[in-house]
Amino acid sequence: MTSVTNSPEIKNFLKGVLVIMAGAFMILPAYLNYEIFSRLHFQLVVSMSISLMLFAIGIVTIILVLGKEAFEPKDQSQ
C-alpha cells in the first residue's frame, strides 16, 4: 500500500505549505500584538506573551520543516 507522503510532489507541496505557515507565525505576531493591545485592551504582558508564543511556534515549525540536514555542517572535501 502506497502512502500519500511517498510522492515527492506531495512532500514538496506540504513542505511549501508548512514554510508559509511558519512564516505567518513569525510575521503575524507583530500585527496581532498591536491589535490585541489596542483593540481588545489586554495588558501588555499578555499581548506580548501571545506574540512570543506564536513566534516560537513559527521558529520550531521552520526547524522541523528544514530538517537536521539544513543545520549540519557541510563537509569540505579537498
Q: Is the pLDDT of residue 62 over 50?
A: yes
Tell whether 34 is covered by a domain.
yes
Tell whether 71 is covered by a domain.
no
Output the pLDDT for position 5. 64
Tell whether 4 is covered by a domain.
no
**Which has more pLDDT, 8 or 17?**
17
Residue range 10-45, pLDDT digits in tens: 888 888 888 888 888 888 877 777 777 777 777 778
Q: How many domains in the chain?
A: 1
Give the burial class of 29: count Cβ atoms within 10 A of its Cβ; 0-12 exposed, 13-18 middle, 19 or more buried.
buried
- The SS3 call for residue 35 is helix
Task: Say if residues 33 and 4 touch (Cβ distance below 8 Å).
Answer: no
